[in-house]
Structure 1
């Protein structure tokens, strides 16, 4: 295997961004297909099973956010050192970061296994739906180490400038999941019919394959793993650098599942169909915004490398491209949802009530996706600049300060659609302010290299 380290501090900016983004799409498509496949096949079992998987979504996102937060912190750190620091030092950073990620997430997994029923009861699950949630999460939790390692490992490889290999590994995992889902859920051939437990087992196995493959890439090709981590003081120093970005990044992403859990609780008052529809809409939303998410991951790398060489003109150019792309993409996605929203929702369920609610979500919230994209791109850029606190603030602004309170008010006075208009309003306000502040932040850093954004 040949290393693909790239120096992004020189060359055509637009071409570099495009060349980095399109391989990322394989990974994003894979990640979204992973979730959509589970939603589709579980939806064939019935509305109760679909509602159960919707209840699990905030908790799954919580664990994923912890892992991805450490991955982002690692990516930010390595991208700022990969072209200015010797390889051995980068190798130590990567290895220490992986150890940190596994330790942190395992603590939450152990806790999660012993709190399944009380946690999901608090979120509003009850009766047979609570049983389905418990069946799914007991298996899913056991496979979390296979989720964590590939997430952080992929971010390490991306930080070197190679977005192709991580993307292909994620797509490979999704394909395995799509193949195993119907076999294990419905029991085709010699496979037993496991229902919702089969979906969880398929996820664990698919992630396990990714674990083996990314481990091979990191050891054989990149040579970025070692068991010699240095002195404990040095390990702690690296962890501190990773956590400086990873802590706020994880917190920013944890705000989303926490908020989604609260919104799910609000929606549960409108019946299981509303919860199921929100689960379907949330997964379609992931698919709709995957290109913007890919660009966000690329911006961390691009901005990190250019910041290390203080090439602010290239950073400003990248931000202008990001702004234009987000708005154009948002309009395109809205038009698709406007025309085909009901058909898209109908892919996941035959329940007319669920389809109608999901279509309403697409019509209202979908019109603000360009601004939601600006929040995503801005938070990624802050992390690339090693300025994680504005990133977490704007994530909090969108979800906890705006979306959740407005959703409660909307549900109280305007019923179900009031919750969706809350999402629309939160996206517009947070997206506009996040990007404007980001541009101002970069200008301040340019004038005073170690200056604050404030």
Structure 2
């Protein structure tokens, strides 16, 4: 099997200009994620047409589904970091073997977690505050989602392999394609069409599973046939060694990512005390956040491969320059997004809220939490860069500090002092303090890796 060609169109992460390289990698990811996330918004819109209870039921599922997705994301982070460093060190065969083992291990781990979740649906969602009126609806959705979630893992890990090699165009196409399939199937399966019966929110789950299944076929074809990035020829490596490398970063990264749905679960439980209308609106706000933070999320997938490859090649000056430049850009960009959201708050709230109570909470959400999205971007990019530097425990501790020292405590105090308004303001303040900690910590760790190299960096 030949080495990966140096003449292909993907950017040279070790030598090309930093801003142009990150731009070339990030733009395809943004388009792919926009396609995927816009259709998630469409998904929420169609479910909202079924009424407040179905929308609240799906909102309750977010922390749980994101737990499984977070495991997949974490394992993808570990895969990307290991492969990126191997490619930066020009160890092509090692990267291929590591990629193959990572996909197999991730599949097994997600299968186990989903099976446990399937067995514990009632106690999990009762603990989250779901009432008897929404539990049957949650079952309709989650019974299908858990069974089909095993099809989600292969595209996610496969895309991480491609991004680690510098190819962000193919993952964006796969993500966008899956989102398009999901969006087309959503109204057909939710409301029915011709011989297709109306399946309600269960139809939304089935649409997602079908889309993931198609993505599995596409990503395996790309990795095995087109890109030749997978191989089970171990060479001097062992299966156990490859698993250890990936899990050393992947499990802490997964743990860090899983803390986010834990925080979402706690936040949802606090919001639930204000009624099902507040939960429904909070679910809409969570989807708005995914769209508003799309550039940050795209950069969190493209900056780490850049960091990993340059780390593997010993080019830490490029790492520092890319990190600081990206944070400056993100802070400006997210403030502009906040202004746009304020201007569109009336339209957005009317679009997704069918009751005045829901509309009011959506507006409140938009006016408060999105102001801190730039700070949240600093946290996310610092976290992902820690993983790229093979410092997964730093990323895990940073996530724990954010959620359990700042974000949730401040939100709780705000809720006690000023109700739902105070809860949202407290969460935003939590992002501020965590952003300051994350920036100082990452720069300090980067300098500790190679003081001599970083002395040569241009200020």
TM-score class, shorter: over 0.9
8 Å contact 1:403–1:426 — kept in the other structure? Answer: yes
Tell me the equivalent position of 1:237: 241
Deviates more, 1:23-32 or 1:180-189: 23-32
Segments of structure 2 that go 5 or more residues without pairing to the other structure are 454-459
Provide TM-score, normalisation by structure 2.
Answer: 0.94
Structure 1 residue 43 and structure 2 residue 45: aligned? Answer: no
Tell me the equivalent position of 1:440: 444
Tell me the equivalent position of 2:384: 380
Q: Deviations over 1:276-313 (max 9, x none)?
A: 11100011101100111111211101111111111122
Superposition CA RMSD, Å: 1.7
Distance 1:351 1:397 in 2: 37
Distance 2:349 2:241 in 1: 48
Tell me the equivalent position of 2:456: none
Structure 1 residue 106 and structure 2 residue 111: aligned? Answer: yes
8 Å contact 2:192–2:198 — kept in the other structure? Answer: yes
8 Å contact 1:7–1:83 — kept in the other structure? Answer: no
* Residue 66 (structure 1) aligned to one of 65, 71, 87: 71
Distance 1:11 1:54 in 2: 43
Tell me the equivalent position of 2:365: 361
Q: Any residues of structure 2 matched to 1:41-440 within 5 Å, and which?
A: 41-227=46-232, 234-440=238-444
Q: Deviations over 1:158-177 (max 9, x none)?
A: 11100000001100000111
Distance 1:31 1:229 in 2: 35
Distance 1:4 1:146 in 2: 30
Paired residues in the alignment total: 448
Distance 1:403 1:307 in 2: 31
Distance 2:340 2:355 in 1: 22
Deviation at 1:359, TM superposition (A): 1.2
8 Å contact 1:277–1:354 — kept in the other structure? Answer: yes
Distance 1:433 1:338, change over 3 A: same
8 Å contact 1:95–1:229 — kept in the other structure? Answer: no
Structure 1 residue 25 and structure 2 residue 69: aligned? Answer: no
Distance 1:230 1:59, change over 3 A: farther
Distance 1:108 1:119 in 2: 13
Segments of structure 1 that go 5 or more residues without pairing to the other structure are 450-454
Deviation at 1:253, TM superposition (A): 0.7
Distance 1:402 1:345 in 2: 28
Provide TM-score, normalisation by structure 1.
Answer: 0.95
Distance 2:244 2:402 in 1: 27
Distance 2:147 2:39 in 1: 18
Distance 1:70 1:14 in 2: 27
Q: Deviations over 1:324-362 (max 9, x none)?
A: 111111211110111112312322232221121011111
